[in-house]
Structure 1
Amino acid sequence: MTFGLLLPWVVTPSLNRCSLPPIAGSIPRLAYSKFSYSSRRRRYRLNRVIEDMESEKELMNEVKRPVDFRLSRVSGLMTEIMEIQAENPTFYVLFIPGNPGVVPYYKEFLESLHEFLDGNASIIAIGQISHTSKDWESGRLFSFQEQIDHKIDFVRQELESVKVPIVLVAHSIGSYISLEMLRKCSDKVVYCVGLYPFLTLNQQSRKQSLIGKLAASSIMSATASFLVATLRILPIWAARWLVSNTIGASWSDTALQATCSHLRQYHTMRNVLFMTKTEFRELAAEPDWEFMRENESKLAFVFGTDDHWGPLHIFEEISKQVPGISISIEREGHTHGFCCTVAGSEWAAQHVATLIKNRFSHLQSEK
């Protein structure tokens, strides 16, 4: 009888058939029924969690969108543009590259920035004139001032009708250009972020001095550009191998591709060096401290720890001359060429996004 209480049914050998359990056998059946209900609830909750995770993943995929590439004539000059257009942007980010001003270098940075800004901004990156994969301007050389005017013309040509605020984000010498753009477009630009800014010559840098001497000589510039252009005889795979085993050991595929497609062009290297020559003349003077003080709430700079283009003594001078400015030092081990690595691009994008969000939060609190 005790055995019968433990099993839902027993076999009677003599009759070779099943006999029904006693009434007490209904207790295990009730427990089993309760267990099944609990299991169904757990499975339901698990399915909901999985569905929520998949929905979140889909949302992130929607936010992280790839850049689009296009060509645009700005004041009649063919210009390389990379952009990510938001459906309903609350603001625009206009990115100004350094020198070389090859926008494909910044692909990972732009995509990450769009993601960290939660897809709320339309992002546009404009290349320097004739720092391109094709010689659209038939070998013409463009000065630093012409590059500045080109960016201002772009705002007036393509962003004049934009009703939302514009944020300028720039790299290296692009930071100087962004200051000039703020000067001319102050009614539309609400914030400028300069990454590893090159704002004035570093008299203490021997490397910068050598680059200046090379760029100042037309013969040396032409010779250097010709030597680099001879690498075009190499197939793309060989050129990538050469770059990755020399200057680009830690570079991303994007940076390797941009180097091989753009910097092996004679016209690009000539314009890189000519822009260097003319920008060095301009940056021999001190920065316009008065203008920076007047616009300190609109400015933010991020310096590196070991960067001859933006050395720490310039960081200290800015802190002294413009005490109210937002200024910081990157200590994550990235370099002036942050855009050449995925890690550097993502770090810079996240930092810039935080600065922009804080700026808009501050503007909102002032209303």
Structure 2
Amino acid sequence: MPVVTAADSAAEFEFSWQRIGDAESLWLKGRELSARKNRLTVVLPGNPGAVSAYGEFASALRQLLDTDVVVQGHPGHAPHSTSTYELQHAIAHHAKQLDRHAAAYGEIVLLGHSIGAYMAVRAHQSAPPSSQEKIAVVGSICGTLSRFAPRGYVWCTLVSSRTGKHLLSTLVRALPNRLKTWLAPDPQILAECESGRFFDNIITLLRSEFRALEPELPAETLLELRDKALLVYATDDIYVTRATQQQAASLLETVSPAVSSVSTSTKSSATSLAALPAAPLLNQVKDSIDSTRVPAAVYVSSMADLTHSFCLYPRESMACAREIKRMIAARGLLNVADDDQEIQEISASEKVAQSRWPAEVLRQAPVHE
């Protein structure tokens, strides 16, 4: 892969692709160890797990957190995929990779988007204690940690049905290229979703999500992660209801009743979720918390200018990355400055380096099991 020079730094870095069995990952890695900290940020995509969609977000995280970044694809969500995989297979895959990352890096930031947040939480649980110790942050971005909101549930139910799957697959392939480009400006993402068994895996994963996700938040699990958990929500999200956001904030607010959970930035309009009343279903769990042993702040943010599909839009990707950095710095989870560092968008040369189409490029990549 080509080597490019970051616009905001004299340090060289490169985009590279890695095949791991029936999955693939996109890496942004410093060329020299001295040019970066011994830190890795792992991003687990949502569903579809189109790794290419997260290039701008990964670039922003690299700049803001001074870190290597890997967007770690789900098994089956790759152009060369030949089989289909359910949610538990994806969780097992990510847990195995986390263990590998922990052996190579001193600090790990684990971020999950949408169902990727659920995978991140469960993969962290599955990792051995020695690996868990190196994971400094477990972040949820528009995380579907419980059952979908009604609007999203209806849509996903239709899509995942046998008839809906056939109709949607036929429709996507029949759309004119100009319309496809309007719906998804990055042609690489479109090519990725139309290749191999990618589309079949979207539906297979979605159906297994329906079976796995509980009606309520995994309260006990979130409390176990309270020392490292960060939650970022979109104010209007078809998959995560306001009630669910309120439950998360109320749960964590009990952990630290004196501190506001609201974040503000020049690009986001935050609404105080911490001030909202506690959800009755969580009262028993909340009453059992010893608040003297927990962190000094709550880290739940609601961003009015964030959408569930933020990764498709450079401005939202950068705003989300900045918010994550702000929360990490405020909590002192990593040694990063709480400032308004500028972020450079991916340049034209970087986009070329990031791209791995035509497929021959990926077929030449080393395969790891």
2-structure distance, mates of 1:58, 1:316: 39
Contact 1:222 1:270 in 2 (8 A): no
**Matched residue SS, 2:84:** coil
Indicate yes or no: 2:46 matched with 1:98: yes
- Alpha-carbon distance, 1:110 to partner: 0.8
Aligned to 2:119: 177
Query: Which residue in the other structure is 2:56 paired with?
Result: 108
Contact 2:151/2:239 (8 A) holds in 1: no
Offset from partner CA, 1:284-342 (integer Å, 9 cap, x none): 342321121122121010111110212221110112233234101002x2311111111
- 3-state DSSP of counterpart to 1:350: helix
TM-score normalised by structure 2 residue count: 0.69
Q: Please give the TM-score of this superposition, normalised by the length of structure 1.
A: 0.70
Change in CA separation of 1:354 and 1:275 when aligned onto 2, cut-off 3 Å: same
Aligned counterpart for 1:124 among listed residues 56, 67, 70:
70
2:151 corresponds to which residue?
A: 206
Using the TM superposition, name which of 120-129 and 143-152 deviates more. 120-129
More divergent stretch after superposition (267-276 vs 86-95): 86-95
Structure 1 residues 59 and 266: CA distance shift in structure 2, 3 A: closer
Mapped to 2, the partners of 1:58 and 1:207 lie a distance apart of: 38
Separation (CA, whole Å) in 2 of partners of 1:189 and 1:243: 39
SS in 1 for 2:148: coil
One-letter identity of the residue aligned with 1:200: S
Counterpart position of 1:269? 199
Picking from 327, 336, 349, the partner of 2:308 is: 336
Deviations 1:101-139 (A, max 9, x none): 11110111111111122xx3111111122222x2x232x
User: Secondary structure of the equivalent of 2:332?
Assistant: helix
1:98 partner letter: G
Cα 1:124–1:329 shift into 2, 3 Å:
same
Larger radius of gyration: 1
Distance 1:61 1:285, change over 3 A: same
For 1:191 and 1:114, locate their aligned partners in 2 and report how far apart those are by CA, in whole Å.
Answer: 15
Aligned length: 282
Unaligned runs of 5+ in 2: 256-297, 337-369
Is the CA contact 1:93–1:124 (under 8 Å) kept in the aligned structure 2?
yes
Shift of 1:220: 3.4
Cα drift, residue 230 of structure 1: 4.2
3-state SS, counterpart of residue 265 of structure 1: coil
Q: What is the alpha-carbon distance in structure 2 between the residues aligned to residue 101 and residue 123 of structure 1?
A: 16
Match 2:19 to one of 67, 72, 78 = 72
Runs of 5+ in structure 1 lacking a partner? Answer: 1-56
State the distance in 1 between where 2:67 and 2:322 align.
14
Give the aligned partner of residue 29 of structure 1: none
Asked whether the equivalents of residues 82 and 125 of structure 1 are also in contact (C-alpha less than 8 Å), the reply is yes
The yes-or-no answer on 1:309 pairing with 2:239 is: yes
Q: Which whole-Å CA distance do the structure 2 matches of 1:351 and 1:202 have between them?
A: 24
Aligned-partner SS, 2:77: coil
Contact 1:225 1:270 in 2 (8 A): no
Q: 1:83 aligns with which of 6, 24, 28?
A: 28
Distance (whole Å) between structure 2 residues aligned to residue 273 and residue 361 of structure 1: 36
SS in 2 for 1:114: helix
- Establish whether residue 190 from structure 1 lines up as the match of residue 162 from structure 2: no
Amino acid at match of 1:166: I
Which residue type is aligned with residue 220 of structure 1?
A: G
What pairs up with 1:240-319 in 2 under 5 angstroms? Answer: 241-245=178-182, 247-248=183-184, 253=185, 256-265=186-195, 267-319=197-249
Distance 1:208 1:227 in 2: 21
Shift of 1:84: 2.6
Please give the root-mean-square deviation of Cα atoms over the aligned residues, in Å: 2.6
Aligned to 2:8, which of 56, 60, 70? Answer: 60
**Counterpart amino acid of residue 69 in structure 1:** S
Per the TM alignment, residue 150 of structure 1 is displaced from its structure 2 partner at its CA by: 0.9
1:144 is matched with which residue: 80, 87, 91? 87
Q: 2:300 aligns with which of 327, 331, 345?
A: 327
Q: Percent identity?
A: 20
- Contact 2:23–2:77 (CA<8 Å) still a contact in 1? no
In the alignment, the residues of structure 2 paired with residue 281 and residue 58 of structure 1 have an alpha-carbon distance, to the nearest angstrom, of 43
Q: Which has the higher helix share?
A: 1
Distance change in 2, residues 1:230/1:82 (3 Å):
farther
TM-superposed CA distance for 1:163, in Å, is: 4.4
Q: Relative CO higher for 1 or 2, CA cutoff 8 Å, sep ≥ 6?
A: 2
